[in-house]
Structure 1
Amino acid sequence: MSAASSYLNSPPAARIRIVLVGTQHPGNMGSAARAMKTMGLSRLVLVAPEKAPNLESYALAAGADDVLGEAATCQTLAEAVADCRLVLGCTARSRRVALEELLPRDAAARAVGEAAGGAEVALVFGRERTGLSNDELQLCHAAVHIPANPEYSSLNLAAAVQVLSYELRLALLEREAAGDEAAQGGERRDPPASHAQMEGFFAQLAETLDAIDFHKGRAPDSAMRKLRRLYLRAGLDEREVRILRGILADAQRMAMLAGEKRGSA
């Protein structure tokens, strides 16, 4: 079976992963696994945890030993979400990285919609004390904010995972009740572009804009952030990314020829 047909034949819940970044307390990994399993989720990814899962982790998993035991471990967030089409970062509002903000229910609906269309989806949770860094948030397509009591907004990591897992459960049940075919509105002809493919496109886009002197001496960061949001909203598939990268390659080639022509004049 091909990779494309394999992901289309698996249920949406199987394409949704919970990613914990830099977890400091092993017990929180077990509690998060328990929160996931109660809502029918099973894919846990640990990114550079300070300590590996231990006896405390399994004790707090309370029967979700399979979710915790089968958790993948990665060194970086980029590695953990490389094959994802949608990456949602769970964070507080006060950040310098400008991202679309979603409530948990809206985030769950979008995540399940993408997963039902065949895409891999990640919901990312940061460190207990400091959350996700700005560089890590830059890898996310949107931010998820839990509207807790502003006078006491401190939310335990596992509790945050439980809130999002619950909303995902509701969205999955709603889609199941509506019928996959009617809710999905037709299958994609091409697989959605992965996170790694989009990051490769963005890197080539940045190189091309430099090659054609698009920025005219201005700092490129602002323009690239806006372009990232524009292309991420478009929901590109693999074929569309290949077309765009072909256009960029031709633009780079023409810029190089123009530079050689000026140099020989």
Structure 2
Amino acid sequence: MRTRFILIQTSHAGNVGAAARAMKTMGFDDLVLVAPRWANVLRREETIQRASGALDVLERARIVDTLDEALDGVTHLCATAMVPRDFGPPTRTPREHLGPLAAGDEQHVAFLFGSERFGMRNEDVYRCHVALSIPTDPAFGSLNLGAAIQVIAYEWRLALGGFGVRETIAPPSAADARAVAGMLEHWERSLVQIGFLDPEAPKKLMPRLQQLFNRAQPTPEEIHILRGIAKAMADAAGGGSYKTPSPVRGQGST
């Protein structure tokens, strides 16, 4: 789906920069400004500062005089209006409308945002196929323009399939069975030394601990921590003669 964000008569330069940043975070870059207050809005310092890394979106952005020019090639137009208009298009939440839209035939979609001061004119809303209303607290439903664009961009990206969550670090690998068995043997000795385990009547303590650590899938580093705890228990009980075996090759170190 081709996607365009259209801002009509934007009065605050910072909102243009915020719009560019909101779009880029969701993978969109087609921004059109219709008769903004500042002719040089794309080069103003406040715009650039608020874009914060989305300068490429600003560089691609276009300024036009009329909405007709901004709608060139668009086949599905979405207004963003909190107040329904008589004789206007149906009002829906973004998620309600955008999911089916993304699943349908390919379209050139545009999202239309009105002036910060006046909102959207009725005649502009009438041209749209739908009026998207972001569900907000009825007692205070006013959204900053940049925030509204971010919400719409997120909902549209989500409808299109979204982006996967990136792992910041590689998932840890579990210690092997030999390392777990060695740790349990160490724990068994220490539990006897502190008087928690009666070797003459062990019952099911060690099998239960075995199952606990099987479920936990400790990493090699965690195995070393557990061995350190076992050693500290034995030392506290005065039985510190038990020496922790050297780490198994490939299991890492403390």
TM, length-normalised to structure 1: 0.57
Counterpart pick for 2:133 among 103, 125, 145: 145
Aligned residues: 161
Is the 1:97–1:134 Cα contact (8 Å) retained in structure 2? no
Q: Report the 3-state secondary structure (helix = DSSP H, G, I; strand = E; otherwise coil) of the residue aligned with 2:28.
A: coil
Shift, 1:175, TM fit? 11
Q: Report the 3-state secondary structure (helix = DSSP H, G, I; strand = E; otherwise coil) of the residue aligned with 2:152.
A: helix
- Give unpaired runs (5+ residues) of structure 1: 1-11, 177-265
Q: Which residue of 1 aligns with 2:236?
A: none
Is the 2:88–2:125 Cα contact (8 Å) retained in structure 1? no
> In structure 1, what residue type is equivalent to 2:21?
R
Is the 1:88–1:107 Cα contact (8 Å) retained in structure 2? no
Shift, 1:99, TM fit? 1.3
> Is 2:110 the partner of 1:122?
yes
Counterpart pick for 2:67 among 77, 89, 97: 77
Shift, 1:157, TM fit? 0.3
The 2-side partners of 1:68 and 1:113 are apart by 30
Q: Residue by residue, what CA displacement relative to the aligned partner does 1:85-133 show, whole Å, maximum 9, x if unpaired?
A: 100000012433421111011232244345xx33211010101121110
Q: Which residue of 1 aligns with 2:91?
A: 101
Runs of at least 4 residues off by over 6 Å: none
- Give unpaired runs (5+ residues) of structure 2: 165-254
Q: Evaluate the alpha carbon distance shift between residue 153 and residue 82 of structure 1 in structure 2; reply closer, same or farther with a 3 A threshold.
A: same
Q: Report the 3-state secondary structure (helix = DSSP H, G, I; strand = E; otherwise coil) of the residue aligned with 1:36.
A: helix
Q: Which residue of 2 aligns with 1:170?
A: 158
Is the 1:30–1:57 Cα contact (8 Å) retained in structure 2? yes
Is the 2:13–2:46 Cα contact (8 Å) retained in structure 1? yes
Q: Evaluate the alpha carbon distance shift between residue 85 and residue 94 of structure 1 in structure 2; reply closer, same or farther with a 3 A threshold.
A: closer
| Structure with the larger helix share | 1
The 1-side partners of 2:51 and 2:101 are apart by 25
Counterpart pick for 2:18 among 31, 56, 65: 31
Q: Which has the larger radius of gyration?
A: 2
The 2-side partners of 1:35 and 1:150 are apart by 24
Shift, 1:174, TM fit? 5.9
Write the mapping of 1:1-265 to structure 2, written as runs, cut at 5 A: 12=1, 15-51=2-38, 52-53=41-42, 54-113=44-103, 117-173=105-161
Among all aligned residue pairs of Structure 1 and Structure 2, give the percentage whose two residues are the same amino acid: 41
Is the 1:33–1:64 Cα contact (8 Å) retained in structure 2? yes
RMSD of aligned Cα (Å): 1.9
Q: Evaluate the alpha carbon distance shift between residue 111 and residue 44 of structure 1 in structure 2; reply closer, same or farther with a 3 A threshold.
A: farther
